Amino acid sequence: MQRNSIFIGQYPAIVTVIKGITSIIPVLLLAFQTVRAQPCTNLGQTPATAFPVCGTDVFTQTSVPPCGNNLIPTLCGNDGLAYGDLNPYWYKFTCFKSGTLGFLIDPNNDGDDYDWQLFDVTDRTITDIFVDPAMIVAYDWSGEQGKTGASNAGTSLYVCGTSSVNGVPGPYRPLFSSMPNLIEGHNYLLLISHFSGDQQSGYKLSFGGGTASITDTTAPALKSISTNCDATQLRIKLNKKMKCPSLVIDGSDFTLSPGNITVANAVAASCSIGFDMDSVILDLSGPLPPGNYTLTAVDGTDGNTLKDNCDRTIPVGAALSFSVTTPQPSPLDSLVPLKCAPDKLRFIFDRPIHCNSIAANGSDFIVTGPTAVTVSSASGECTDGVSTSITLQFASPLYTGGTYQVQLVRGTDGNTIVNECDLETPVGQSVSFAIKDTVSAAFTYTIDMGCKRDTINYTHNGDNGVTQWLWNFDNTDFSNAQSHSKDYPAAGQFTAQLTVTNGFCTDSSLVNIALDNEVTAGFTAPDIICPEDSASFINNSKGPIDSWTWTFGNSHTSVLESPPAEHYPMTGKETYYTVGLAVHSPIGCTETASKTLRVLSSCYIAVPSAFTPNNDGKNDYLYPLNALKADNLDFRVFNRWGQLVFHSKNWLTKWDGTINGTPQGTGTYVWILQFTHHDTGKKVEMKGTSTLIR
């Protein structure tokens, strides 16, 4: 058995394998989770704490702690297997240049069984991967041991598991899938699941071989800075995610000037639940008086500044200037960039907002634009009663492109929003945002049918500003054109997938196409018949046939799909006839087949009184003549000393006058022929002699 569990009815079952013997033990879901679904507490063991990937990274896992086994959706259908994140590690990355992704999972022990699945998590809640198969990009759940991953050696994006039944192994599943296509700007999540059990020796994960880039070329930098209300803290925003271990908690990565106030310590809240951070809080040795200041990045006591996930550092000397002034209300000006068909908006504020000043029903905000918008709720990401962001939830997604405006009003709670300095943002502040129409990847196609090969012409309408097309034909042929033509065999099952984008919205569509217009001609017929006997011809031609033309070699023809039996006359000699069948399809294709029918001179069974095995093609063998209707035939030949020199149960197997390859001399030989006559059922025994003449 190559997988860890299956479902029986509505309950899962544990599958136990001992030396190839599979036993299926039904259990309740609670018991199943108790046995397998252990908590994952290490960083990297859950989607939310996934390892950030730089394209040049090689990840080395020296051990794989047991945990997990949450069920994962696949496209494997009802194969009786359940797929889960068993003993998992997760990895996250962004595609910065579209192309194919190649990677290798190299076990430290070649006997370990590692599986993987890749998800597109762009604009999705991370936990949706456990329920939504539309997020699947590729996977390999092969039960084989050894190296696995995605490479040019793969032939399919989706490799399912196998199971053994009664100790018989299932079919081999390849350890490598084909390389999936990544889309620029999309975010991905890679699961590596470890099926070999709780004791594993780890693995190395490396990326390479594909054409996509998952390396962020943006240089790390300080993005922005703000103070708290009493100017005892500095809040730094970074321009990208950076490694938590590169931040020194004593604050020595930064210097502050002018004045005698120094950085006392540094902390990044996200580092308690992940590997990287995009903001840092610096506690100061005292409050900053009003004035202008500069915060500068320096090498900390760890010997470096902050590092991004590719180990590139913020340049020493990089600085942010800021002013300490009398606190002001927080403006409504910073909107997180939107994605396709947004159902929410997220504002980022220079100062934290009191959560109790945010009207939960969203009445602090009015949204107007090309289509009616209803704000159903508003909420912050609250810590200690404040939030640096507010998310507006819409009653339904915005599908219509255009420019919209968000205006701040006094909500049902009697105020707008109030920042941590207890200052209310004035009524009437507004911000605009623009979105594009959603796109559809639905495409049309026409088929130019041929006799052996068909041409399918694919096209997409390009509506709603589509600017990019990616066609995937059976994972073997790709195109970036809006329209594409492809040749196929005239019979078979094929798939075509299209992904389109207008730079804002993306959609995919998959179509299965069955071609069945190829015709083949074929029939079964007897090889040999007796004269005047019936010869039946069974049509086994295939394809969309609309007419048949039979020729029987005796001047008779037929246009029936299944013709009546034919009779061939006695001519006094053995005669050969060519029987032919031509089949025709509705589009004008014709295929032919033919067979040769041998009609004996007669079916009178006899044995020649003499034969001359001199290889002149005349009377070279001794055998029962015309024994077509001799059932259960037994033919034996003896020499004059009673020695059996030839024995056959097939009338077409003939004696060539040799014994063990040695030619026998001229002489008389005794033969015995026994058979049951096919027509009468009568048992017959015949005896006689034949002379071998040299």
User: What values do phi and psi take at 453, rounded to 5?
Assistant: -135, 145
CA 227/CA 281 separation, integer angstroms? 9
Neighbours of 272 (CB within 10 A): 9
CA 13/CA 6 separation, integer angstroms? 5
Q: Evaluate the omega torsion of the peptide bond into residue 258 and state whether it is cis, within 30 degrees of 0.
A: yes
Q: Last residue of some domain: 551, 575, 599? A: 599
Q: What local confidence, expressed as pLDDT, does residue 24 receive?
A: 32
> Chunked in runs of 10, what are the mean pLDDT values of the chain (694 residues)?
32 29 30 51 91 86 86 84 90 94 94 94 92 94 92 93 67 92 95 78 91 92 93 94 95 96 94 90 96 97 94 96 93 89 93 95 97 96 93 96 96 95 95 94 96 96 94 91 96 94 91 94 96 94 96 96 94 94 95 96 94 92 94 95 94 94 92 95 95 92
Q: What local confidence, expressed as pLDDT, does residue 637 receive?
A: 97
Q: What local confidence, expressed as pLDDT, does residue 92 receive?
A: 95
Instruction: State whether 387 and 458 are in the same domain.
Output: no
Q: What local confidence, expressed as pLDDT, does residue 27 receive?
A: 30
Which residues in 202-275 belong to E strands, given as ranges? 203-207, 222-227, 233-243, 254-257, 263-267
Q: Last residue of some domain: 573, 599, 625? A: 599
Q: Last residue of some domain: 498, 516, 534? A: 516
550 contacts: CB under 8 Å, gap ≥ 6: 537, 557, 558, 559, 560, 563, 579, 580, 581
Instruction: State whether 165 and 33 are in the same domain.
Output: yes
In a domain, 217, yes or no: no
What CATH number is associated with residue 620?
2.60.40
Instruction: State whether 349 and 415 are in the same domain.
Output: yes
Q: What local confidence, expressed as pLDDT, does residue 198 receive?
A: 59
In a domain, 534, yes or no: yes
In a domain, 334, yes or no: no
Instruction: State whether 358 and 422 are in the same domain.
Output: yes
The residue segments making up the domain with residue 635 are 610-692
Instruction: State whether 551 and 688 are in the same domain.
Output: no
Is the Cβ–Cβ distance between 214 and 187 less than 8 Å?
no
What CATH number is associated with residue 147?
2.60.120.380
CA 402/CA 90 separation, integer angstroms? 38
In a domain, 329, yes or no: no
Q: What local confidence, expressed as pLDDT, does residue 383 receive?
A: 87
* pTM, two decimal places: 0.54
Q: What local confidence, expressed as pLDDT, does residue 152 receive?
A: 93
What CATH number is associated with residue 464?
2.60.40.10
In a domain, 332, yes or no: no
- Tell me the residue length of the chain: 694
CA 480/CA 461 separation, integer angstroms? 14
How many domains does the chain fold into?
6
